[in-house]
Amino acid sequence: MDLVFPYTKKRKDFGRHPNFTVTGPEMLVDIASNPAMQAHFTPVPLSTVAVQCAPEMSEHEANTESFSIASRGMLHKEGGWPKDIDPNEIDHLNMFRKKVERDDVYISAVKSLTGTTEELMKQNDAIDIAEHYFDDVVPDRSQDITQPRCLLTLKDPNKVKRSAAMISWHPDERGRIAVAYAVSQFQRQPGEMSPASYIWDLENPNMPITEMQPVSPLVSLQFNYKDTHIIVGGSYNGVIWPLAYESSPIEKCHRDPVYKVQWLQSKTAMELASVSTDGRVMWWDLRRMAEPTEVLDLVNKADGSMLGGVSLDYDPALGPSKFMVGTEQGLALLCNRKAKSAAEKIAQPFPGHYGPVYAIQRNPFHSRFFMTIGDWAARVWADDVRTPIVTMPFETQYLTTGCWSPTRPGVFFTAMRNGFMGIWDMAAQQKAVKDWKISDAAITSMEVHTGGSLLSAGSADGSVAVYELCEGLAVAQSNEKAAVQGVFEREAKREKNIEARVREQRLKEKQKPEVPVEIKTRPLTDKDTKEIEEDFLATIGPDEDHTPIPLE
């Protein structure tokens, strides 16, 4: 870990101070000439030498032989047929071929050319050791995975340390990052805690370059993909706070913390969506923040209860109407904003987690498949299958967040409460390739740069570490996209077959006639009553205050 802190101090504040005074000329030493030594010296006449500051250059001209260049072309049709042969007439071509093949000159020419052609083919089969044959072959570095190298650490400059709730990389500049700081235990917020969040420059990690001062601490934020001077954040009190724009009124916005805000792909790049644990998804227009343009209530179709949203994902490949929501109840919702009725806007949920779905994200290369992070495992889903197609092995610690790699289709990262980061490669194996401890505190946020080589991880102690990933995690292989798609399609097909088999068995069970069960009883005898009494008394034991009363 490289930490740099420059110490600056004015020159007047250190060292011995000089004392300058104005004095006249003073002769210190006067050495007279020695006449005896003068005879050993030869006087040299005065000479003048010219010195140039720059080296001397000479000019030379040479004329090369001139020649003219002309571009010419020719029209060449099939076979170079004579003028009297029409290449479109098959009969003319066949007659001309037979005539030429019967000619003795043609046979001798073919025999003479065969030897030359054979020699050239043998030369072509020889390998030139100086020639580069495999420049276009991408080396396989998927197995050469090394531990990420920590480049720097960004510390929360406030006295009261807060957790790094969310991280957003600058879309264009590789060295800028925005971090939202908030205390996870909102009920225990100290009074002197600052609500500020910051934008950092990785070239100067000691102090942030921009300080954002919302009224309430930000728990989510994101750079605008088109105008990078605009940042929108979701506050703890439910307000949508955009940088350099008017915030949403508190009476028109969410009633719980806004855990996720995301820009929508549009011509104006001014529309965004937000989700909160109050059970609502809201759409906003940055030019009219007086009220949301649309509101969707997250209702569970099974029992009609409200579902609190903690994660949101909009994929530009699916358009601005379809999106995913992860809820507190462990359900993943596939929603369609432009559905005809309110009931059709939320499809059948994807049940698969025992706790909140802290992260939900579609695969950047295969939009049909998405990943969810919750409880002790990560799961991969398909849109048309209601059960997870891939379930990762359960971890011993609770997972807090995760994200896909933007450059490798089958690689994603997970974070845990004990400070460990898990790296998964679906193209190689369905288990963690590596587990590395990158923080002493719980990891609360994680984001990979669009270039795929930088990863930032925020912790509960307020520090944000930036790591450089190796080429095995950042550079995609030549056939990796197709291989990962094959894995996903195979697992989705397997789950579909299992679901069809289960439905078939249930249908057979319903079609079976119900056979009444006849229960035969007989009256209790004195022997049966005595055995029941003894078993009961042996179970409860004797009582100290009174003797057991026998059953009559």
- What does the pLDDT read at residue 188? 67
Tell which residue, 434, 476, 432, has the closest CA to residue 452.
476
Tell which residue, 424, 303, 307, 320, has the closest CA to residue 357.
307
- Which is more confidently placed, 142 or 12? 12
478: amino acid identity, one letter: S
Between the alpha carbon of residue 312 and those of residues 47, 95, 275, 536, the distances in Å are 88, 74, 7, 59
Query: Does the structure show a pLDDT above 80 at 22?
Result: yes
Q: For the residues of 276-316, what is the DSSP string, one character each? A: ETTSEEEEEETTBTTS-SEEEE-B-TTT--B--EEEEEE-G
- pLDDT tens per residue across span 128-137: 656 666 666 5
Least confident of 152-156, 273-277, 512-516: 512-516
- pLDDT tens per residue across span 343-384: 788 888 899 899 999 999 999 999 999 999 998 999 999 988
518: amino acid identity, one letter: E
Q: What percent of the chain has pLDDT over 70?
A: 88
Q: How far is 438 from 440, CA to CA, in rounded Å?
A: 7
Looking at residue 246, what DSSP letter applies?
P
Contact 336, 344 (CB under 8 A): yes
CA dihedral 385, 387, 389, 392 (to 10 degrees): 160
Query: Does the structure show a pLDDT above 50 at 263?
Result: yes
- What does the pLDDT read at residue 10? 77
- pLDDT tens per residue across span 475-490: 888 788 888 999 899 9
Q: How far is 416 from 103, CA to CA, in rounded Å?
A: 84
Between the alpha carbon of residue 238 and those of residues 181, 216, 381, 428, the distances in Å are 15, 9, 30, 42
Q: Which two tokens stand for residue 185?
A: 């235990």
Tell which residue, 355, 315, 363, 316, has the closest CA to residue 332.
355
Q: Tell me the pTM.
A: 0.66
Confidence of residue 296 (pLDDT cuts 50, 70, 90): very high
Query: Does the structure show a pLDDT above 60 at 543?
Result: no
Query: Does the structure show a pLDDT above 60 at 142?
Result: no
- What does the pLDDT read at residue 56? 77
Q: For the residues of 502-521, what is the DSSP string, one character each? A: HHHHHHHHHHSPPPPPPPP-
- What does the pLDDT read at residue 459? 93
- What does the pLDDT read at residue 2? 61
Query: Does the structure show a pLDDT above 60 at 106?
Result: yes
- What does the pLDDT read at residue 544? 44
Query: Does the structure show a pLDDT above 90 at 515?
Result: no
Least confident of 163-167, 211-215, 328-332, 344-348: 344-348
